[in-house]
Chains A and B, each alone.
Chain A
Amino acid sequence: MTQTVSEDTQVEDVESFRRRARAWLAENMLRLPPEPQHSVRRVEYFADADDRQARHRVLQRQLFDGGFAGITFPREYGGLGLSAAHQRAFTEESVVYEMPGLFNIPTFSICGATLLEFGTEEQKRRHILGMLRGDALWIQFLSEPTGGSDLAGLLTSAVRDGDEWVLNGSKIWSTGAFHADWALCLARTNWDVPKHRGLTMFIMEVHQPGVEIHRIKMVNGSMEFCQEFFTDLRIPHSDVLGEVDDGWQVATRLLFHERNAVGGGSTFVSGRDNVQGAGPDDYLLRLVDVSGRLDDPVARDLLGEAHTLKVVEAQIVDRISRAMRTGVMNENAASILRLYRGVMSTRLSTISLDIAGRGAAAWTDDDAAIGDVGMRFVSRQTSCIGGGTTEMARNSISERVLGMPREQTGDRDIPFKQVRRNA
């Protein structure tokens, strides 16, 4: 640890921090309007993603100026250097306020966490503050069109040219690349060694010559996912994160942070993130109410089931996070949380659909919230695919938590250029 604690720094206790946060939030942030009785609200608050990201940058800057940004980030890079308990207290207090949730994943909890681990002093000083001030949204350039789960089999190439690297290839499934500022990009720098040993992680500016971004329309109409095309994109050597050809180690930690964030276990997440299908605490109760089924034991059973799954999620996140922190479990246990959330979210989506009944099939503008239930069900599997599929999580749990035999592969210990692959 390089972190030093100066003499005059006294750590504020959690309750005092909570009280200060409560007062500050009430004074400075917009309180979300209470739900009108007998209604459910739509999950999306913004007409489009551009409005949302612009608003979230402003909100993040407000948090920063108010001294409540980067609660668990080290002080020397602009954070508060406080504990996970302080972060939890702030999140609890902030639930009823409009928060810049867009920054949580991947900017803080995945890219920020990885930068803290592998960045040089200069890289950390240059980039962490920008995140916390709301100036820079980050994304990951990992997956490629030729394969999602087999990340180490990626084909984007980076060739050294003096003090620069020249990248060619394509990335996909980056969320909101069009409004992001910086990215962590994994590329192949050596084709003569087995796949895991020839990768390098780069820090790159998203908008620059040589990068072309296409937006992808998803089934629910969302245009947030993107595909990028790199043509002779030039990146300075000083933007290599970690060591050349050692990018898999960086990626492994990045994926850990991703699983942890997607599973709800990250300490860098500030404010509540939206779980697909979960909604606010009483969302399903309202859905039962507006569907006129408060006296229907079937609907009440579904309501009880949904509540059980959500309460147990918080309990298992707490347990596994604690177990990883104390070393009782290794960090692959984050896959258990990723799997739980994926399975829970799909079930909650189905439960919502069953509660909404025929309202989810056709609706007026006035019951758009019930109509959303059907739309969200159509894209239900998002929660089991995005952030690493639940199948990969099951591989990780069985092989790396339970120690069961690894799957057979056709590319182990073979120079990557000889491995059979998709064109």
Chain B
Amino acid sequence: MKQEFSVIGKRFSQADGPAKATGAAKYTGDIKLPGMLIGKVLRSPYPHAKIKRIDKSKAEELPGVEAVITWEDTPKIPYASSFRDLPMAPSGSLQRADEYILADKARYVGDAIAAVAAVNEQVAEEALKLIEVEYEKLPFVILPREAIKPEAPKIHDYAENNVAVHLGYPLAEGDVEKGFQESDVVLEETFSVSKQVAGHLETQACIANVEPTGKITCYSPCQLPFPLRRELAKMFNLPEGMINVVSPFVGGSFGARLSVYNEPIAIALALKTRKPVKIEYTKEEDFTCVHTRTADEYTIKMGFKKDGTLHAMQIKVLTWSGAYLGRAQLAGAITLIWGMGHYRCPNRAGECKVVYCNTTPSAAMRGYGNPEIMWGVEQMMDMAAEKLGMDPLEIRLKNIKKAGEPSNFGLPIESTYLEDCIKAGAERIGWWEKRGRKEEGIKRRGIGMATMTHCSGAYPLLLEHSGAIVKFNEDGSVNLVVNPGSPGTHIWGALSQIAAEELGIHPEDIHIVTGETDKTLFDLGSHASRSTYVTGNAVLEAAKEAKRQLLERAAKMLEAPPEDLEVKDKRVYLKSAPEKGLSVSEVVRSAMWDMKGECLNIAGKSSFASKWTSPPTAAYFAEVEVDIETGEVKVLRFITAVDCGTAINPMTVEGQCEGGIQQGIGYALTEDFVINKETGVLESDNFTTYKMPTALDMPETEIIIINKPDPKGPFGAKGVGEPATVGVAPAIANAIYDAVGVRVLDLPVTPEKLLKALKEKQHGDSGRGD
């Protein structure tokens, strides 16, 4: 049933476009408060070291320095940089607070040892040099497989063999051993995926200010303002109401801003100096300290029946955390959940170990384990198809789930149109015409595909709760009070369209009120592709309530029953006699300013927590050209066919998918987080050394939006932010295989590795380049 919408599905421009296009939009670094000091952090030069002694006296004496803090000066309450109390069952017990505001021990190069607040950056830099730190260097470990060895140095006292988390796959089913025995074809491969950097352009920044009352204002780009407020309250032993988290515009997040970074240090400095303190990272600090995508090594075993039915599946993951857990503590389990929840499979088991290393921590970059694991799963599906003599499309179609079946999270799938995605994308890329070309020249082309299922919000794994207020103004416009965070996506536009559709007004008549925890209702924030689905539903509920009140009031004025009324184009009218009506403005104005004393603020409020699973799905198709002499891979064309329910704003959905392609291509081919093995120092510490695709590196792209509504999403919408990137890399890997018959199983697939694999294939070896 196709619904006719007034504003849903239209390509509206964003209301904040002019501010961003003219330079007026203020990001955290652009904000200057009177008397503001500049904060800077002294960072450990060693990957693992005891701090024997710190002497800050010389630094404190330097003119222009107003505070110098160390471990001694900060609360000894450990925190979880990825926030406690987000998870529900069964992972609730995993949230561990393992970080201090300033380190008790240096656990990675870049760890925060001390901090200063000074009148400008120059003085702050001088002050850092004057802080004397006596380190006792300890042995260190970079890779997880080294860190779990018995002889490895212990990074956190509680973690034996540096294992922070050791879990089985929480949704295990059936009997995998029996399942493999019953399978006609069994495949097993080991893959490794890398620490991709979020690469947002805006460097991490925050400002802390303490009011005379002791109330703290914290300007932060954090994607989860309310959880941040709660964690800060715990850290500083304050009631939540004494902290206001302010969200300026944010220059990209991609999951990296889910964590706490410099906020506690800035607050500690602000508390000491009683002046505002700003800490802005350099891009080098971003690379060194901001949490990356979680890296893993994993082995996947899959058993198939000869007709292509997936019968048994087992995944074992070694998850690379870092010096502190961050979101990596959930990453192992969620990786298993994505990997084994995408296809129908009666026998599933798995295991994950999340391991501390003396490196930059890992977290929940866009996709949170899904891109990581589908890198392997989707290549295995192609390998199985080849062994079984099936088309890769056929083996997908055979095993993808249908609506009503249990989703990756275990609850029934509310809607899925993955089959539509696969068929539409295959047709558009020229699947049947262009695959298996078996070319002879130096440049060879290939076509490959991948699929995935993600989530719209993380119910039932993580807490879900969003709230909104919709209140009418006398002119018939609406203030929409929401706080989904400020991740840099177009979420406010989508929310405006949802409210406008329900209220029969235009998105231009919606004023967004957001950006402060003081002024908005609780919203978890932006992660797990939840904002359109969960905050969107919260907005819809609030709008429905506001509409109900509006119609009830109008009913009195029009002397008609409320059920007989409708609102459209800013006008309330009788369904039975449309010419009889009032403007919304008249209704609101008369209610607000009722001279007889029967006043009413026409407003709706909601508290919404989703209780269903409406997973977005997508199919990705890549056409590549491989130069067999240099191993270079050029992505010529990329098509993403996405099922995100109703596209509230198709232009926004396309934008997300196009950006996701850029990140997926970088993940697949060029982005490499390089740590010096001798020193533990990060070598790829800026865009000069860490290479993300430029405009010249992008292929021709096409985004196909299936646009079929979900029963539970607001106007049928599902999430899209993370689906945008999940399957890009394996589609490229499968295309490379189609072109030249080799695979490189560890990311990134550099020309160096691919050429090695090609040469090995020539000489009759595995052709794996590893």
Same complex origin of A and B: no
Which residues of A pack against B, CB within 8 Å? none
**What residues make up the interface of B, taking CB atoms closer than 8 Å to A?**
none
